[in-house]
Structure 1
Amino acid sequence: MPFFIQIATYLFCGVTMSVKIIVGYLRLLQRVRQHYHLEHLSQQKAWADYWLQFSQALDQELEQGFDLHVYTQLLKQVQSTLSRPVSLVLAEHATLQDVGLIGYLASTSLNLQQALSLLEQYYPLIFKQTNLEQLKIVEQQDLIQISWGALYEDYREMYELNQALIFKIAQAIIQQHLIPPVFIQLGHVPNFSISYYAQFYGCDVTIREGQYCIGFSKQILRARSFAADQHLNQMLSSQAKQSLQHADTFEHRQQQFKQKVMGLIEQGLRHQNEVIQHYVAKQLHASERTLQRQLKQYQLNFQDILDEFRLQQSQLYLKQGRALTEIAELLGYADQSAFGRAFKRWTGRTPKNYRADLHQD
């Protein structure tokens, strides 16, 4: 199945959807790429521009981070050469330094409990501009549960990678055989057999659409870190707090809210059992009027966000060769004609012409 391999930027709401990740993820991918001798992937014409961006960002150690969409597309290309989930392969080659400040905070923590607490507090720093989902850590009787939402199915590999990295961070901190997690929960159906994940984590793996989760027994929380240094940890925590405050801008909150709405639109279109705006408002525990007021505060418009999502998805579906009737249904249109009119309004071309141009290219 072909992937979405061309970037296009469309300004519907005055802002673009741009999520950045820290450069450590690039170093990790490059390590795996070299280990498996995959340098030839950049020679494939359709992917050459993506790898060029990747190489330039890696060389320059970009402070502003690297585009998450480009990174996920590279993961999918690398996946096409591997016989196991790319997320697990990368995690096997990961170091604490790959997750940046979070890794240093974790390694200097007194124990795993403190490390996880800091992870919850500063998890947004893994994403340089906009955090995708809020990570939550909840303690229950004999269990500690780490979970986060998974609104964007296209970021499945990234969700899986972060889950595997949390597991590897815990292993690296205590420098001993980590008692296997009590359970692992995937938020999207993986492209591989569950057995790969069960073998990696050493425990049962389940699927619950929309939420990733990892559960540890509380008995490992007091396991002392091999490199505990409270003075250094406090200095790093202060640095992390300043970084979070610096990132807390109107643009940051605007994009964060826009992404949340877009993710709920994706969910709502999958269900298609009620009006999409009503569905989104309900998931946000708000009325439609309240939702409109919240959008206005961020200089956003619901119809513009819906159009942007539909345009992005329709281009992806057309590249995948899906039938126009199927695309119309997936995007919540009454029929193929309604979808065709909308697509031409956005791009100036009919879906058939757009697909013909793809084949010509």
Structure 2
Amino acid sequence: MGDISEHSVTPLYSQAIVQAAERQGLALPAELLAELRPDQRVPLTRQDALWEAFCAASADPLAGLRLGLEMQIGHLDSAGMLLVTSDTLGEALDELVEYAPVIGDGGEFSVRHAGEQVFIDYQPDYSVRQAERVEAVLASQLNLTRWATGGRFRAAGLWLSHAPLTGLDDYAQLIECPLHFDAAHNSLGFAEPQLNLPLIQANSSLREHLRQLADQTLATLGQHSLTAEVQRLVRQNPRWGKERVAAELELSGRHLNRRLAQEGLSFKSLRESVLQQMACRALRGEQRVAQIAEQLGFSDEGAFVRAFRRWQGVTPARYRDTSQGRTEFG
């Protein structure tokens, strides 16, 4: 999506890794540290190299988890402060989904409801040290949510799509909630009533100022580009076709296609990629396939099954079956 400048991380997050290495007496490559500037966002490729160097120097399989538990709000840039000045946990999660790219665009957050449970899902878009980095993200979510609610937040558990990186007892000493490995998604789960938990740092006037700063950062990163706007509209209105989306953007269908072509995309491919992502997430829940097909705007269940098989190489039922296996403790 857009140019390479979008694929970056706030220097404050990178600084958290450097500070952790300093506390542990770890030596990171001097040439890598020299490339980190406090006034410049860190390209994702450089962040990959930083994570690799940190984990290799640490030789601790739980280096990412420990880092996440040590993460401070300030390491999350203006987005972190924006989250904790929200009135309730539910409002903070809405802000997280919208403004996470301010922190870094190496992954995507979404909020999923399943029965009386709520899950903050995290989908990483990187491959270098993915397990360690996912553990850092979810551990920081857990720790900072506890802090922001004055210790009132109670997690139902952490779900991780990878296998344990070390013995389960080592995890249990650090994380005081159930852990589920080899899961279908990376998530922090909790009971739905906790969405109404008030945040101890709630501040409406400061929040508006921070939102303006975050909006400015997103605009600089290109997150409000045409591609991003089309993706947003399709997520919100999966039944809409090209003409309806174009009209919402005050464009003709032909002009929309021309503009997307400049970014190497077509409306059809862009819409299908969003629907594919939405379908995979929905299939991890409890909805019937027919309901998912209807919500995503397919003419019938058969049309959805054919499209999903083309996207994933398996039927929705098979995808759901293979997403159920998991190892648990806690």
Q: TM-score range by the shorter chain?
A: 0.5 to 0.7
Taking only aligned residues, the RMSD between alpha carbons, in angstroms, comes to 3.2
Q: CA deviation at 1:138?
A: 1.9
Q: Distance in 2 between matches of 1:294 and 1:151?
A: 25
Q: 1:201 to 1:143 in 2, by over 3 A?
A: farther
Alignment partner, residue 237 of structure 2: none
Check whether the contact 2:21–2:54 (CA below 8 A) recurs between aligned residues: no
One-letter amino acid of the counterpart of residue 111, structure 1? T
Count how many residue pairs are aligned between Structure 1 and Structure 2.
233
Compute the displacement of 1:253 (Å). Answer: 5.7
Task: Pick from 28, 31, 56 the counterpart of residue 49 of structure 1.
Answer: 31
Cα deviations by residue, 1:159-205 (Å, 9 ceiling, x for unpaired): 221111111220121122532x2121112224223443344332222
Partner in structure 1 of residue 51 of structure 2: 72
C-alpha distance 247-216 of structure 1, shift in aligned 2 (>3 A): same
Out of 157, 161, 164, which is 1:183 matched to?
157
CA offset digits 1:291-322 (Å, max 9, x no partner): xx99966348xxxxxxxxxxxxxxxxxxxxxx
Q: Which runs of no fewer than 5 residues in structure 2 stay unpaired? A: 232-257, 266-330
**Contact 1:150–1:210, Cα closer than 8 Å, also in 2:** no
1:28 matched to 2:16: yes
SS at match of 1:135: strand
Q: CA distance change for structure 1 residues 33 and 150 in 2, over 3 Å: closer, same or farther? A: closer
Match of 2:283 in 1: none
Distance 1:194 1:298 in 2: 46
d(CA) in 2 for partners of 1:148 and 1:165?
12
CA gap of 1:17–1:115, structure 2 versus 1, over 3 A, is closer
Inter-CA distance 171–21: structure 2 relative to 1 (3 Å threshold): same
Change in Cα spacing, 1:240 to 1:151, as seen in structure 2 (3 Å) is: closer
CA offsets 1:37-83 (integer angstroms, 9 cap, x no match): 22xx24xxxx4422333xxx2xx413333532222212322331x3x
Q: Which residue of 2 aligns with 1:138?
A: 112
Residue 182 of structure 1 aligns to a residue in which SS? strand
Secondary structure class of the residue paired with 1:29: helix
The one of 63, 68, 73 equivalent to 1:96 is 73
1:120 counterpart = 2:120: no
Aligned with residue 216 of structure 1, among 187, 190, 209: 190
**Aligned pair 1:37/2:25, yes or no?**
yes
Q: CA deviation at 1:116?
A: 1.4
Stretches of structure 1 lacking an aligned partner (at least 5 in a row):
1-14, 258-292, 301-361
Answer yes or no: is 1:192 the counterpart of 2:166: yes
Give the TM-score normalised by the residue count of structure 1. Answer: 0.56
Q: Which residue of 2 aligns with 1:165?
A: 140
- Tell me the residue number matched to 1:19: 7
- Which whole-Å deviations, capped at 9, do the CAs of 1:319-361 have from their partners, x for residues lacking one? xxxxxxxxxxxxxxxxxxxxxxxxxxxxxxxxxxxxxxxxxxx
1:62 aligned partner: 39
- Is 1:233 matched with 2:170? no
**Cα pair distance change 1:62/1:242, threshold 3 Å:** closer
Structure 2 residue identity aligned to 1:167: L
Change (3 A) 1:235 1:294: closer
Letter in 1 for 2:58: Q
Distance 2:227 2:124 in 1: 19
The offset of 1:135, in angstroms, is 1.0
> What CA distance in whole angstroms lies between the structure 1 residues aligned with 2:184 and 2:260?
23
Asked if 2 retains the 8 angstrom alpha-carbon contact of 1:143 and 1:218, the reply is yes
Deviating above 6 A after TM superposition, structure 1's stretches of 4 or more consecutive aligned residues are: 15-18, 249-252, 293-296
Output one character per residue of 1:103-141: Cα deviation in whole Å (capped at 9) or x when no partner. 1012211121211111111111111xxx23321112334
Distance in 2 (CA, whole Å) between partners of 1:243 and 1:296 is 25
Asked if 2 retains the 8 angstrom alpha-carbon contact of 1:105 and 1:236, the reply is yes
